């Protein structure tokens, strides 16, 4: 199966961002992609650099305008599209939500981001309520979404640092792990610190592929985005990538280029890898009770 990641630089012009995303989606489909994923909150700038109640105007319902747009594209191109939206569930209740549009244009699943950061430049707790369940589904949020290209274990950005999230998706039958992302450097950090952060981000996600024997697909932003005032902004570090079930790179983007990143994934190989490295077989579930505690005192 050929998969594609869209690595994009955004501006304050929402229509221009959408038009650029559509151009890149069409390019990916023309190059044979069956599954296409966009970056986190792809419609707008990464507005979470500051706390501003006016930014709630960017939120939309699901289904809504963006799912309609993505659904029409998915149906026209006969591809599965993964998008990432600022969801208005109700007034005063908002989520960072990933959506899946099937080849026929139908909305087949949503995932509401479970881990919500609150750090300088990433004030997401001001905007987002943690996910509690899949959209219109009473199951746990860590539940794969069934599609024509396989069971997608869809997670979002800060979720990617948590092995528990990846494991729970794998335990529920996920055949691929997908991470739409918006992460970058503080320009005040020195080059060594920047490299360590980017390397850690890549390494932890490759480890999820290895520990669960499934491919991992990661879409990140590129380009510089400044907040309205008072900070140096974020230089998004790109480096979107696609890794196989042993963490091997199948495709890796650079830091600064908008691009369609393509790779061919052999789903049968994942089956074979899990046969020779049967981590799920040897898990000591009888001894893991403390994982449900905040901290073991």
Q: In the chain, where are the structural domains located? A: 2-292
d(CA 92, CA 63): 18
Select from 148, 4, 26, 149 the least CA-distant residue to 76. 26
The CATH homologous superfamily to which domain 2-292 belongs is: Carbon-nitrogen hydrolase (3.60.110.10)
Q: How far is CA 216 from the centre of its chain?
A: 10
Q: How far is CA 91 from CA 49, 87, 158, in A?
A: 22, 11, 24
Q: How many CB atoms lie within 10 A of CB 9?
A: 17
Do the beta carbons of residue 182 and residue 221 sit within 8 Å?
yes
Select from 125, 105, 101 the least CA-distant residue to 113. 125
Q: In what order do the strands lie in the sheet with 222-225?
A: 184-186, 234-237, 222-225
Do the beta carbons of residue 276 and residue 248 sit within 8 Å?
no
Do the beta carbons of residue 192 and residue 230 sit within 8 Å?
no
- What is residue 232's predicted lDDT score, i.e. its pLDDT? 85
Q: What is the pTM of this model?
A: 0.95
Low-confidence ranges of the chain (pLDDT < 70): 133-140, 230
Contacts of residue 205, defined as CB under 8 A and 6 or more positions apart, other chains included, come to 160, 177, 179, 216, 218, 241, 243
- What is residue 231's predicted lDDT score, i.e. its pLDDT? 74
- What is residue 227's predicted lDDT score, i.e. its pLDDT? 83
- What is residue 73's predicted lDDT score, i.e. its pLDDT? 98
d(CA 244, CA 267): 9
3-state class (DSSP) for residue 219:
strand
The catalytic residues are: 40, 113, 157
Q: Strands 216-219 and 150-154: what pairing?
A: unpaired
- What is residue 137's predicted lDDT score, i.e. its pLDDT? 64
| Residues comprising the chain, all counted | 297
3-state class (DSSP) for residue 71:
helix
* Largest separation between any pair of C-alpha atoms in the chain: 55
């Amino acid at each position: 199966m050929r998969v594609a990641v869209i690595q994009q630089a955004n501006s304050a012009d929402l229509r221009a961002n959408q038009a650029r995303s559509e151009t890149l989606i069409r390019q990916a489909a023309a190059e044979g992609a069956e599954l296409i994923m966009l970056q986190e909150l792809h419609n707008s700038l990464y507005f979470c650099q500051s706390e501003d109640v006016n930014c709630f105007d960017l939120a939309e319902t699901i289904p809504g305008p963006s799912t309609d747009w993505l659904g029409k594209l998915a149906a026209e191109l006969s591809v599965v599209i993964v998008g990432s939206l600022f969801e208005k569930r109700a007034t005063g209740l908002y989520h960072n939500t990933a959506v899946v549009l099937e080849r026929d244009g139908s909305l087949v699943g949503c995932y509401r981001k479970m881990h919500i950061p609150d750090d300088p430049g990433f004030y997401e707790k001001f905007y987002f309520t943690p996910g509690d369940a899949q959209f219109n589904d009473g199951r746990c949020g860590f539940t794969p979404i069934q599609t024509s290209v396989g069971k997608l274990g869809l997670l979002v950005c800060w979720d990617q640092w948590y092995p528990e999230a990846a494991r729970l998706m794998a335990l529920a039958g996920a055949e691929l792990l997908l991470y739409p992302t918006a992460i970058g450097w503080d320009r005040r950090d020195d080059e060594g610190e920047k490299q360590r952060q980017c390397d850690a981000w890549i390494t932890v996600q490759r480890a999820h592929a290895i520990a669960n024997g499934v491919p991992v697909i990661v879409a990140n932003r590129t380009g510089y985005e400044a907040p309205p005032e008072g900070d140096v902004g974020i230089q998004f570090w790109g480096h979107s990538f696609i890794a196989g079930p042993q963490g091997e790179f199948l495709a890796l983007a650079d830091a600064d280029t908008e691009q369609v990143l393509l790779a061919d994934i052999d789903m049968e190989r994942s089956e074979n890898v899990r046969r020779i490295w049967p981590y799920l077989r040897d898990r000591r579930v009888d001894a893991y009770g403390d994982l449900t505690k905040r901290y073991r005192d």
